[in-house]
Structure 1
Amino acid sequence: MTDHDDARVRKALQGMDFPATRNQLVEYATDRGEIDDATLTALAGLPEARYGSIDDVVSAVPHRPGTTSNR
């Protein structure tokens, strides 16, 4: 992900209560309605886990959605 992508993930999850699972992250971002397709795909591509903070989410988002490579 680029710095711009990181900012989009942070914006989509602004106000999210942590810890949260991947499904909770996707649901929250979708419900807020402030998520584009690329960011939604990136969040949906996260490994199933419980994330303790938004920083944990940003560092776990695949570099290219659909891959398992991190930055």
Structure 2
Amino acid sequence: MTDRDDARVRKALQGKDFPAERNDLVAYATDRGEIDDATLTALAALPEGSYASVEDVVAAVPHRPGSTSNR
């Protein structure tokens, strides 16, 4: 992810309470209606699990959603 992508993820999750599960993060960002397709794809590519903060989410989003490697 680039710094710009990181900012998009942070913006999409602004105001979200943590900890949160991947599906909750995707639903929250989608419900806000301020998410582009690339950011939605990135959030949907997160590994299953609970995230303690938006920083944890940003760190876990794959560099290329759909691939298995991070950053």
TM norm. shorter chain > 0.5: yes
Query: Given the two structures, how large is their TM-score scaled by the length of structure 1?
Result: 0.98
Counterpart residue identity of residue 60, structure 1: A
- Aligned equivalents of 2:41, 2:4: Cα separation in 1: 15
SS in structure 2 at match of 1:58: helix
> RMSD of the alignment, in Å?
0.5
Aligned to 2:52: 52
Post-superposition Cα deviations, 1:19-63, rounded to whole Å, max 9, x if no partner, equal 000000000000000100000000000000100000000000000
Aligned length: 71
Matched residue of 1:57: which SS? helix
Gaps of at least 5 residues in structure 2 are none
Identity of aligned residues (%): 82
Q: 1:3 aligned to 2:15? A: no
Normalised by the length of structure 2, the TM-score is 0.98
Task: List structure 1 runs of 4+ shifted beyond 4 angstroms.
Answer: none
Alignment of 1:2-41 (within 5 A): 2-41=2-41
